[in-house]
Structure 1
Amino acid sequence: MNTNEQTDKHQTDENISAEDIQAANDNREKPKKESLLANLLLNIVVPTLVLTKLSGDEYLGTKLAIIVALAFPILYGANDLIRNGKINFFSALGIVSVALTGGMSLMELPPEYIAIKEAAIPGLIGLAVLVSIKTKYPLVRTFLYNDKFLQTDKVEQALEKRGKVTDFNKAMRNASIMLSGSFFLSSALNYILAKMLLVSEPGTEAFNAELGKMTALSFPVIAVPATIIMMGTLFYVFRSITRLSGLSLDEIMVEQ
């Protein structure tokens, strides 16, 4: 085999190798997107119906109704963890929160304990976000400014080139305060909702109905306002990045 033939064969092998790699990447199974409908059904609608309609002695009874109702969000969250192949902070936290609610209800602890638990979890997250401002790794970067969504290396290079690193750090501090505010709001609303609705004795059909009502109202009363604040924070972060780096949103977003 002459030199030209060897060169052509080597180039062909390289091309085939590159094509094979590209094909493998293209055919790699992408993570399935979460279904909003399934999320709402399994985390809110089904548990609410079980607690409010099936807690009577002629159906499941109070304790079994709690177990069945809370099994749906727990299994949904566990399936989400398994499907994604890694631990999602909020999914894991949701499983823990639901398990605590179920445990307290089955132990027939006073409703005050559930109200405190409902407020404590988002409250502690909000506090952690604030405290993290003083560390090298503020949580706002984990939640809103990370490599999953943004080309952070490209952004940081542009910020250094324009001498805007200090201004950007100030913007991240403001975003941290805004983000913690969404968690503190969620904490306050959780406590108020639990105190207003959970008034019956634990272990009764009336208590289960109140627990179901609290589950149903948690989305419009708590999740929507907190999400609005979080989306406002996200808009502020993106606006700050584009303004300080001089890059457009299309230039900094990671292609999905």
Structure 2
Amino acid sequence: MTQAPASVSAAAHKPPNPLLEIVLTIILPSVVLDKLSTTERLGPLWALVVSLLFPIGFGIWCFIQKKGWNLFSVLGFVTILITGGLGLLKLPAFWFAVKESAMPIVIGLAFPLSHRFGKPLINALIMQPHVMNLEAMKAALNSPQRQAEYKHVLFRASCELGLGMLLSSVANFFLAMYLLEGKAPATEEFMKGIAKLNWMSMIVIGVPMMVIMLVVFFRLLKHLQRITGLERDDLMNPGTTVRRQVGG
């Protein structure tokens, strides 16, 4: 009887599945926008409205369940709204390419610049309790020198992630031009190209970015091992070595 609340609490704090969230908020709405934009079905406007219901609905569910906004819901809503909206405004392919490249540039610059405001974005991405053993790290960073080194390697990792986003921006631009150039704006063919751009960018751009993020993550772990003196397994989960050092 006494274990029931603990299990419920654990379920409530279960880390989200990023792949499922991407499917629900970006890929599935893009497929809807692609398949329903024809004049025989919903047409471009109502296809856009229906596709927006997915990130909105999932975002509302997450807000009710977790008492907070879901990043992928916001990103999916903004992406589908801007992309579909630009299509309805009959803007040429060049402006879609600019839009596709602008967002990675903003995110890329935000990673290093966020350190100046004392709230590094990399903390929200990596330094989370379900990813890193924050208690062990805090105990190991027990001197000003170690804390300074820790801030330095975090900043360097942020710059590396920012560089990866800038490379993604260039790739996004050329992908958009390849898929949309030569198509008349606001036509069925153009809207299909937009939908294809949304899901293809997740594969063509997203997969290399995941590789870059993994490389940056493991490089960061290597530096954290050197600074803290902890083993990698102990940095990522509460192992026996950590419990002995922390005094648990």
**TM-score of the pair, normalised by structure 1:** 0.77
Contact 1:175 1:233 in 2 (8 A): yes
Contact 1:66 1:106 in 2 (8 A): no
Match of 1:43 in 2: 26
1:231 partnered with 2:214: yes
Instruction: Summarize the Cα distance change of 1:86–1:180 in structure 2 as closer, same or farther, 3 Å threshold.
Output: same
Structure 1 segments unaligned to the other structure (5+ residues): 1-18
Question: How many residue pairs align between the two structures?
Answer: 235
Contact 2:30 2:80 in 1 (8 A): no
Q: How does 1:214-229 map to 2 (within 5 A)?
A: 214-229=197-212
Separation of aligned partners in 1, 2:216 and 2:73: 21
Instruction: Summarize the Cα distance change of 1:51–1:92 in structure 2 as closer, same or farther, 3 Å threshold.
Output: closer
Match of 1:104 in 2: 86
Q: SS where residue 203 of structure 1 aligns? A: coil
Contact 2:34 2:196 in 1 (8 A): yes
Structure 2 segments unaligned to the other structure (5+ residues): 239-248
1:28 counterpart letter in structure 2: S
Match of 1:209 in 2: 192
1:28 partnered with 2:12: no
Instruction: Summarize the Cα distance change of 1:121–1:83 in structure 2 as closer, same or farther, 3 Å threshold.
Output: farther
> Per-residue deviation at 1:176?
0.9
Instruction: Summarize the Cα distance change of 1:145–1:38 in structure 2 as closer, same or farther, 3 Å threshold.
Output: closer
> Per-residue deviation at 1:177?
0.9
1:195 partnered with 2:172: no
> Per-residue deviation at 1:254?
5.0
> Per-residue deviation at 1:207?
0.5
Separation of aligned partners in 2, 1:37 and 1:87: 16
Deviations 1:55-77 (A, max 9, x none): 33222233333333443344344
**TM-score of the pair, normalised by structure 2:** 0.79
| CA RMSD in angstroms, aligned pairs only | 2.9
1:172 partnered with 2:154: yes
2:168 counterpart letter in structure 1: S
Identity of aligned residues (%): 33
Match of 2:104 among 122, 142, 152: 122
